[in-house]
Amino acid sequence: MIDFHTSADVEAAVARAAAVAPELAALPAHRRASALDHVSRRLSERAEEFAAAINADSGKPLKWARIEVTRAISTFRWASEEARRFSGELQRLDTDPSAEGRLALVRRVPRGPVLGIAPFNFPLNLVAHKVAPSIAVGAPIVLKPAPSTPAVAFLLGEVLAETDLPDGAFSVLHLSNEDTARLVEDPRLPVVSFTGSGPVGWGIKERVPRKHVTLELGGNAAAIVAPDWQDLDFAAQRIATFAMYQAGQSCISVQRVFVHTDVYDAVSEAVVAHVNKLDVAADVGPLINDAAADRVQAWVEEAAATVLTGGTRDGRTYAPTVLTDVAEDSKVNAEEVFGPVVTLTRVGSVEEAFDRVNASRYGLQAGLFTTDVRLAFRAAQRLQVGGVIIGDVPSYRADQMPYGGVKESGTGREGLRAAMDDLTEQRVLVLTGLEL
């Protein structure tokens, strides 16, 4: 059990971050990139150790823990590459006669030290998505991992300490929720990057309206199976896997599935078959705590839906569950289950599916199984989400791509370059009297 840090520890971390901010912002790109390269390389060398720590801290099956480590290796590698090319742009200003001989250099500079608050469900890679872009742009970061999964963040801190980054460039603080609330309000941390629950995230934004706050708050991700999709078994296998992986504790876990009536029966049967093939220990795993298991169980019972498979519980492990005949306003549809539960709904058209997806107050990502490129573009135009994945489930994420949601799924974007833009602001230098 790791003890919480004291108020003196917190003050020391924040003071160091504020003091080192000018030095880190001025640090040459090659030094920031080299530090990030080092972290990526050391994660690769210690991959099994980190996977075991993820498993021990969160209960995540080793299969998924190893994949998370692999993603974190790439996240730091991408950050090092972006750090090397984060150069700004030139703008000719002589587009009007009054600006002849003038040129603007538009660069991005750090907004200031960052408070990064990370969740339990990806205790390494979502920490990486706070730390890596901060270092890449030259912003100190004070990292607050989830209270239930701090050990992995401290392991990462050991690796960061091996670099030649200046003292104060990063800190890891294990804090209670109450102490975190006080840290959020510290004016020396002008940027807050939060991933977690909606009520907490929006509460932060309301409490510090003058700070730059980015929020990734999850959702109830939907997948649509269009009538033209022929490989129904592939769609069913992907839906079954990514509705249940790591006990459904992912912001883009498949939660709602809308299937065209022409293929509904075949898809429903295949999803259930693939869910029943899952190894609960190796593929699914437990929920983070008893309270989470209690909530999932209560929501399924409250739904009074048709249970096609699952619906049982053993301690913190909730059986992979497939529901149908679910009311749209039922919590397992309308809220974020964050558990191994998926609902199947028959629709008469893809347009109806679009409407059902958009009826949610969330909008992180959606998946559409189709081979019709026109329908794919229609989905991108119609669906009120941050990302649309064609030919796969909404759970797909490449760590370098912009990632984030709309509506109550949050504001701002992760993904290395997108996050780097979010952590910085533009600064303009105008040169005069030039021959262009």
User: Do 119 and 196 touch, CB atoms closer than 8 A?
Assistant: yes
pLDDT tier, 86 (very low <50, low <70, confident <90, very high otherwise): very high
pLDDT in tens, 215-231: 999 899 999 999 999 99
**Displacement of CA 260 from its chain's centroid (Å):** 29
CATH number at residue 349: 3.40.309.10
pLDDT in tens, 371-396: 999 999 999 999 999 999 999 999 99
Regarding whether 189 and 151 lie in a shared domain, the answer is: yes
Regarding whether 137 and 77 lie in a shared domain, the answer is: yes
Question: Is the residue at 95 inside a domain?
Answer: yes
pLDDT in tens, 155-214: 999 999 999 999 999 999 999 877 898 899 999 999 999 999 999 999 999 999 999 999
Q: Say how far apart CA 13 and CA 266 lie, in whole Å.
A: 57
Regarding whether 267 and 155 lie in a shared domain, the answer is: no
Q: Say how far apart CA 328 and CA 342 lie, in whole Å.
A: 13
CATH number at residue 82: 3.40.605.10
Regarding whether 38 and 87 lie in a shared domain, the answer is: yes
Rounded (to 5) percent helix, strand, coil in the chain? 45, 20, 35
Q: What is the mean pLDDT of residues 259-277?
A: 98
pLDDT in tens, 91-131: 999 999 999 999 999 999 999 999 999 999 999 999 999 99
Question: Is the residue at 63 inside a domain?
Answer: yes
Question: In this structure, what are the phi and psi dihedrals at residue 324, rounded to the nearest 5 degrees?
Answer: -140, 175
Q: What is the mean pLDDT of residues 335-364?
A: 98
Q: What is the mean pLDDT of residues 24-38?
A: 98
Regarding whether 149 and 127 lie in a shared domain, the answer is: yes
Catalytic residues: 216, 251
Regarding whether 345 and 304 lie in a shared domain, the answer is: yes
Regarding whether 241 and 192 lie in a shared domain, the answer is: no
Regarding whether 110 and 204 lie in a shared domain, the answer is: yes
Q: What is the DSSP string of 307-356?
A: EEE---EETTEE--EEEES--TTSHHHHS---SSEEEEEEESSHHHHHHH
* Sheet containing 424-431: order of strands: 89-92, 103-110, 424-431
Regarding whether 86 and 46 lie in a shared domain, the answer is: yes
Question: Is the residue at 292 inside a domain?
Answer: yes
Instruction: Give the DSSP H or E segment for 143.
Output: strand 141-144
Regarding whether 343 and 230 lie in a shared domain, the answer is: yes
Regarding whether 203 and 160 lie in a shared domain, the answer is: yes
Instruction: Give the DSSP H or E segment for 388.
Output: strand 387-390
Q: What is the DSSP string of 213-248?
A: EEEE-----EEEE-TT---HHHHHHHHHHHHHGGGG
Using the predicted structure, report yes or no on whether residue 152 has a pLDDT greater than 70: yes
Instruction: Give the DSSP H or E segment for 69.
Output: helix 62-85
What pLDDT sits at residue 1? 65
User: Do 253 and 285 touch, CB atoms closer than 8 A?
Assistant: no
What pLDDT sits at residue 159? 98
Domain count of the fold of the chain: 2
For residue 172, the cross-strand partners are 143
Question: Is the residue at 156 inside a domain?
Answer: yes
* Residue 85 CB-density burial (10 A; 0-12 exposed, 13-18 middle, 19+ buried): exposed
User: Do 138 and 25 touch, CB atoms closer than 8 A?
Assistant: yes
Using the predicted structure, report yes or no on whether residue 349 has a pLDDT greater than 70: yes
Range of the domain at 423: 7-217+409-431
pLDDT tier, 240 (very low <50, low <70, confident <90, very high otherwise): very high
Regarding whether 246 and 194 lie in a shared domain, the answer is: no
Q: Say how far apart CA 250 and CA 388 lie, in whole Å.
A: 17
Question: Is the residue at 345 inside a domain?
Answer: yes
What pLDDT sits at residue 181? 87
Q: Say how far apart CA 133 and CA 378 lie, in whole Å.
A: 33
